[in-house]
Amino acid sequence: MTVTREFVAPAESAGERLDVFLARQMPDWSRSQIQRLIRQGLVTVDAAPARKAGEVVEQGAHIEVQAERQEMRATPEDLPLDVVYEDANLLVVNKAAGMVVHVGAGVKSGTLVNALLHHVRTLSGAGGEFRPGIVHRLDKMTSGLVIVAKTDAAHRRLSQQFKSREVHKTYVALVHGRVESQSGQMTQPVGRDPVRRTRMKAGGIAARDALTRYRVVRRFPHFTLVEAEPQTGRTHQIRVHWASAGHPVVGDLTYGAPAKLRVGGREEATLPRTFLHAAKLAFAHPLTGEALTFVAPLPAELAEFLQRIEGYDH
């Protein structure tokens, strides 16, 4: 039986190849199978047949796939969930580091989506069976605020706000080294790393414009605490920008942060997560237009790390 799979491309997928994007959304399909579907005209982007497997996905694009088999669905799981706000249309959740946002290749359970389905049962279907309700996402080892849509109408309007850059996000990050400027911006385009395809890179494959504004909150002898506001939504954007500036985020071994730190005159392992936290979200309610702002305090493990280096970083 032919079934229709529908996806709305999130900000972090903008600039990806269409077949790469779909392979992540449909992990039980191989990339070659997806390419065949595209050649057969069974994939549409914004209601027009996809031209080729390598065409670039744009943020907010509506993608439909006509497939011949049913795929697995995310299932409810009773997992801890920190709900910051909830109404009939949406939730705002404070995600813990270590939790993957949605089911995908090699990840069948333990995700934010699994927890959400247990909590609310019904979420927007606009993101597809693997991503119900998910308008945007955070990396596994990044903590903080995530918006979740309960209805398709809320999902569409929130996606449009992301596409129009009307959602304001503030992250707190601790980076290696001393950032000299009190404030500034980083503008390197971000694309796929040609060697390590799970990574992104400044100026990588199909690089797209990226802008991150920042301000220094506090300086330590070997670290700098910053607030970063991404104005675009490229995958791993903040992590890539700081790494390319020579100041990788603490704990981010993927982008060059050291595995060992000198704290209090002794060497010890770095944080088991990235020191990156989505601390603030501001957006308009998708149905009422009311201005909403939410703040999530720094998780205990990050606050404790700051206390540790405050007295002993030398």
The number of beta carbons lying within 10 Å of the beta carbon of residue 177 is: 15
Length of the chain: 314
The whole-number pLDDT of residue 170 equals: 98
CATH homologous superfamily, domain 169-283+291-312 = Pseudouridine synthase (3.30.2350.10)
Highest CATH level, class, for 83-163:
alpha beta
Question: In whole angstroms, what is the distance from residue 266 CA to residue 35 CA?
Answer: 53
> Catalytic residues, which ones?
139
Q: Which residues of 88-127 are buried (b: 16+ CB within 10 A; e: fewer)?
A: ebbbbbbbbbebbbbbbeebeeebbbbbbbebbeebbebb
Positions of the chain with pLDDT under 50: 70, 313-314
The whole-number pLDDT of residue 110 equals: 86
Question: In whole angstroms, what is the distance from residue 161 CA to residue 168 CA?
Answer: 10
* Alpha-carbon distances, residue 172 vs 199, 211, 226 (angstroms): 21, 16, 6
For the structural domain made of 3-67, what CATH number should be given?
A: 3.10.290.10
Beta bridge partners of 294: 281
**Helix runs in the chain, H state only:** 18-25, 31-39, 112-120, 152-163, 237-244, 300-312
The whole-number pLDDT of residue 265 equals: 73
Question: In whole angstroms, what is the distance from residue 299 CA to residue 312 CA?
Answer: 21
CA 119 to chain CA centroid, nearest Å: 22
Question: In whole angstroms, what is the distance from residue 86 CA to residue 307 CA?
Answer: 33
| Residue range(s) occupied by CATH 3.30.2350.10 in the chain | 83-163, 169-283+291-312
Strands 266-269 and 48-49: unpaired
Note the pTM of the prediction, 2 decimals. 0.78
The whole-number pLDDT of residue 314 equals: 47
| Residue range(s) occupied by CATH 3.10.290.10 in the chain | 3-67
